[in-house]
């Protein structure tokens, strides 16, 4: 059944020929698992069908999400739908980027996704010893950047992938990747009202180098909604970033006291603006995220059709520039408190994007 929803604007990703709707469906929760808890396939099927029907046909998953179950669930949901209507995007873990391993892992993703090509294939985090450690503790060999991007180009020539992308790459890492000669269509980076660290450096660099930017965690995993009155109410897995006090959250790796007071102050100010104009906080957060200069598309986890439709409607509605300016001002102190690192999961001394 088609619901009356506004059309989503479409944008070109950097200087590539990849065209994306301004909102993409984040599929991390698909397949269920420890992080997000149970997720029914029936609901995934309904979200995917409705998203395609309404032009929100861009799906972001990764081999690492729920041990491959997210890719599998997306593949099941896409079965029987015309393949060309979906833009399927997945990521290879940096630990799996040595040439032979990368090819084998790409084939495994294709099988789980039940397709013969991936529209956008990204390297999930930079290919460095520190970054790899998170994906494969104890791994001793670091694949070379040159080998990884040459292999991605081979996969592209073979038609297995349509576009090459990176994710969480800092300025030096992006420059190094581009120097291999591989065409890089996107850099997927954290971007929300409460995670703005990409603004001064990597975002302008992406724009200058013709690389599109996908902003992820547009709602900071539900913080930017009206659902959780206090930060402590968020499920523990969603309290691992530097916004939160690591002493209260054993799963956090950053080991810092966090910026809970500044986060709550920003959130309170955002919620007050939302209430004043009679909109849900999540609407404002999404409108702000897609309005970012240089942002191609924003990714938001939608676990049911109601959330998808609300998010779609918000992303398709332009934000009043005066409200945008107010939101920027309200979140400046938090931006300053969190500092310039956009690796929100790690202590800045162990920033994986450097
Ligand atoms: N490249 C990377 O390193 C990286 C890292 C993180 C994420 N990502 C990608 O970005 C996507 C988006 O990030 P995310 O899913 O982690 O976080 P998110 O989009 O900020 O938050 C998603 C959560 O927000 C809640 N939500 C969604 N719509 C809502 C609405 N209209 N009203 C109230 N609450 C709403 C839902 O919570 P409930 O589930 O509780 O309903 C949902 O699961 C991911 O799925 C993934 O594809 C990439």
DSSP string, 88-141: EEEEE-GGG-SHHHHHHHHHHHHHHHT-S-EEEEEESS-SSHHHHHHHSTT---
Mean pLDDT of 28-57: 97
From the list 305, 321, 310, 166, the residue with the least C-alpha distance to 224 is 310
Tell me what pLDDT residue 2 has.
Answer: 57
Q: pTM for the whole thing?
A: 0.98
239-256 average pLDDT score = 95
Q: If you count DSSP H runs as helices and E runs as strands, how many of each does the chain have, helices first?
A: 11, 10
Atom number of ligand 1 nearest to Cα 306: 31
The band of 294, judged by pLDDT with boundaries at 50, 70 and 90, is very high
Q: Which residue minimizes the CA distance to atom 47 of ligand 1? A: 26
Residues with a catalytic annotation lie at 65
Give tens-digit pLDDT for 186-242: 999 999 999 999 999 999 999 999 999 999 999 999 999 999 999 999 999 999 999
pLDDT at 18: 98
Mean pLDDT of 245-249: 94
Note the pLDDT of residue 315.
98
Residue nearest to atom 13 of ligand 1 (CA): 217
Say what percent of the chain tops pLDDT 70. Answer: 99
pLDDT per residue as tens digits for the range 299-310: 999 999 999 999
Ligand 1, residues at Cβ distance < 6 Å: 26-29, 60, 124, 167-168, 188, 216-222, 225, 227, 282, 299-303, 307, 310-311
* Burial zone of 273 (CB within 10 Å; 0-12 exposed, 13-18 middle, 19+ buried): middle
Q: Which atom of ligand 1 lies closest to the CA of 125?
A: 3
Q: What is the mean pLDDT of residues 146-159?
A: 98
Topology (CATH) of 10-230+283-320: TIM Barrel (3.20.20)
Q: pLDDT tens-digit profile of 97-141?
A: 999 999 999 999 999 999 999 999 999 999 999 999 889 988 889
The rounded mean pLDDT for the chain is 97
Q: In this structure, which residue's CA is closest to atom 24 in ligand 1?
A: 222
């Amino acid at each position: 059944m088609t619901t009356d929803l506004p059309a989503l604007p479409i944008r070109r990703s950097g200087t590539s020929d990849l065209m994306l709707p301004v909102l993409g469906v984040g599929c991390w929760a698909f397949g269920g698992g420890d992080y997000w808890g149970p997720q029914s396939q029936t609901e995934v099927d309904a979200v995917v069908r409705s998203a395609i029907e309404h032009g929100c046909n861009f799906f972001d998953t990764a081999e690492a999400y729920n041990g491959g179950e997210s890719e599998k669930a997306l593949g099941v949901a896409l079965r029987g739908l015309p393949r060309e209507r979906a833009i399927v995007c997945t990521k290879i873990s940096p630990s799996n980027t040595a040439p032979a391993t990368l090819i084998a892992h790409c084939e495994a993703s294709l099988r789980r996704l039940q397709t013969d090509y991936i529209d956008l294939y990204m390297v999930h985090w930079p290919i460095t010893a520190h970054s790899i450690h998170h994906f494969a503790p104890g791994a001793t060999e670091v694949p070379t950047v040159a080998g990884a991007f040459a292999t991605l180009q081979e996969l592209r020539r073979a038609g297995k992938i349509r576009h090459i992308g990176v994710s969480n790459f800092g300025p030096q890492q992006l420059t190094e990747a581009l120097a291999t000669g591989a065409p890089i269509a996107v850099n997927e980076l954290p971007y929300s009202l409460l995670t703005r660290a990409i603004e001064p450096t990597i975002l302008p660099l992406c724009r200058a180098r013709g690389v599109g930017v996908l902003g992820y965690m547009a709602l900071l995993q539900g913080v930017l909604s009206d659902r959780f009155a206090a930060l402590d109410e968020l499920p523990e897995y969603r309290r691992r970033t530097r916004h939160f006090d690591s002493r209260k959250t054993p799963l956090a790796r950053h080991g810092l006291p966090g910026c809970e007071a500044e986060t709550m102050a920003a959130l309170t100010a955002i919620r007050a603006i939302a209430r004043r104009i009679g909109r849900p906080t999540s609407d404002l957060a999404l409108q702000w995220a897609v309005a970012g200069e240089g942002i191609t598309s924003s990714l938001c986890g939608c676990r049911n059709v109601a959330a998808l439709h609300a998010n779609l409607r918000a992303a398709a509605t332009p934000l009043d520039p005066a409200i945008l300016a107010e939101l920027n001002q309200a979140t400046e102190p938090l931006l300053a408190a969190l500092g310039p690192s956009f690796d929100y999961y790690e202590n800045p001394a162990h920033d994986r994007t450097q």
